[in-house]
Structure 1
Amino acid sequence: MLHPDTIAEIADELARADRTHSVIPRITARYPEATVEDSYAIQGVWRDRNIAAGRTLVGRKIGLTSKAMQDATGITEPDYGVMFDDTVYASGAEIPVDQFSNVRIEVELAFVLKTALAGPDCTLDDALAAIDYAVPALEVLNSHIELEGRTIVDTISDNAAYGAMVLGDVRRRPDEIDLRWVPALLYRNGEITETGVAAGVLDHPATGVAWLANKFHQHGSRLEAGEIILAGSFTRPMWVSRGDVVLCDYGPMGSITCRFV
């Protein structure tokens, strides 16, 4: 494992890259011995410094939960990161593109917990019982590490490439809709670019919530009531640039729009 000083130095690099909207060389190219445990340690230092600076944690993102995303990245296991309150947008928002690097959009569902959820043996049924409601969400990816050749270690260190999320207006309890069959049609400037269905995420989009609760148990923690869990994309990422208008049609769960300025 990496020395704690090295972990802190990498967290500093990523914080500077976030402030300057720039990209740093791959961690694994410079530290090939770095492990997944190191990457979560780097993310944890970065997270704790943000909380100490006054940012409020509102939830967690899960990534790389679908075959589409694993094929797009070459990474074959899920990961997770943190989400702060100042990264949450409502549908219809104008999003400053200069705040992000390597800007892409992913199509997801988000879940808000009504009760805490803990492992070690959390199941899909446990997750569904703990969820208050599901809501459509777009994730804005924000990568501060060069994309070519990156590994799961690079991605996790960079807060799982999370930048922001845009939440829809339609909320549904798990017993009100078959979450596996929530569809998505993703448009950029009126042209359809991606389609998908929520079952593409681990066969049920809430499966990732159970996976995360079990993962947290390994670190002596749990998911708390009120947290937003962004469950993972069921389409490939779509690149966006300044001026692009994004629309995602979720069928019975409404639609989300945003514009990058």
Structure 2
Amino acid sequence: MNLTKQQLAQALFEQHTTRAHFSTLRSAGKVLDTAAAYDVQDELVALLRKARNADVAGYKIGLTSTAMQTMCGIDKPVFGRILSDQVYRSGTRVDLKRYVHLGLEFEIAVKLGSDIVPNGTPLSTADIAACTAAICPALELVDDRHAEYSTLDAGSLIADNAWNAGVVLADWQPLPGEFSVRQGRVFSQDPQTETGAVDYRHVLASVAWLAEELASRGSHLRAGEIVMTGSVVRTRFPVEGEVWHYEVDGLGTNGVNCAQEGT
């Protein structure tokens, strides 16, 4: 059956409402191409905004690293929208029962101080830096709904708003004047810590990629919007009772509490 983008979006919306496990999308038996997948995402986000009385607060970029692309079997970045009712502050309590299968990704968030409207020439890191109001360590909440990664395709991921289920933001800080590589550390109660490189040049290049992708679809980044720029370590899937921390040299600490209310 050759389903319309509205029908595909409605099917996704109903999957979220019924907490169904993720399944790949097909139209007329075919994988969605990138353009069609973003059209479905547009429709799904419109349904979510109406149901939740929410605005678009910004964007998430996913699969910016080779490791994450390999994990998902997809060879290019993707983007999705962040809705305003799912923007949280560091230390927030996350109720795992609200999600089908929650993952945590550890990133740098960028808050824009001005619009970014590409003019046809490649955007440089200096261009993006000039439009950046602040940055902070940030966690993205992703709900993969128990997806089967071995059969995941880019179109299905894109259409499902790249699995964004919210963001957790630390205090905003100025973008450093020099773009040296910093170290990010992720840990929970387990004393074992995983480290990852935080390269601000990569952060700004990710925003440039997004700006150009949006421009190709007749849109642009706006002042005040948040951009999540991709995970610096592997995704974690928390269990009840865990507290996760993420700290970046010179930028601060963020965290979420996955304990039950009252514990």
TM-score in same-fold range (> 0.5): yes
User: Which residue in 2 is equivalent to 1:137?
Assistant: 138
Structure 1 residues 145, 22: closer, same or farther in 2, change over 3 A? Answer: same
1:152-176 C-alpha deviation (Å, 9 max, x unpaired) = 111111101111111112512242x
Tell me, what secondary structure is at the counterpart of 1:48? helix
Instruction: In structure 1, list runs of 5 or more residues that go unmatched.
Output: none
Instruction: In structure 2, list runs of 5 or more residues that go unmatched.
Output: none
User: Which residue in 2 is equivalent to 1:231?
Assistant: 229
Q: Superposition pairs for residues 92-103 of structure 1, below 5 Å? A: 92-103=91-102
- Using the alignment, how far apart are the partners of 1:210 and 1:233 within structure 2? 17
Structure 1 residues 182, 100: closer, same or farther in 2, change over 3 A? Answer: farther
Q: Which amino acid aligns with 1:187?
A: F
1:9: Cα distance to partner?
2.2
- Sequence identity percentage: 26
1:142: Cα distance to partner?
1.0
- Using the alignment, how far apart are the partners of 1:144 and 1:157 within structure 2? 14
- Check conservation: 1:189, 1:244, Cα contact below 8 A: yes
Q: Which amino acid aligns with 1:74?
A: G
1:112: Cα distance to partner?
0.5
User: Which residue in 2 is equivalent to 1:156?
Assistant: 158
Q: Superposition pairs for residues 84-95 of structure 1, below 5 Å? A: 84-95=83-94
Tell me, what secondary structure is at the counterpart of 1:252? coil
1:60-111 C-alpha deviation (Å, 9 max, x unpaired) = 1111111221122221101000001111111111011122222111110000
User: Which residue in 2 is equivalent to 1:13?
Assistant: 11
* TM-score normalised to structure 1 length: 0.90
- Check conservation: 1:57, 1:84, Cα contact below 8 A: yes
Residue of 48, 51, 54 corresponding to 2:49: 51
Q: Which amino acid aligns with 1:65?
A: T
* TM-score normalised to structure 2 length: 0.89
Aligned positions, number: 255
- Check conservation: 1:144, 1:158, Cα contact below 8 A: no
Q: Which amino acid aligns with 1:97?
A: L
User: Which residue in 2 is equivalent to 1:165?
Assistant: 167
- Using the alignment, how far apart are the partners of 1:59 and 1:135 within structure 2? 15
What RMSD, in angstroms, separates the aligned Cα atoms of the two structures?
Answer: 2.1
User: Which residue in 2 is equivalent to 1:188?
Assistant: 188
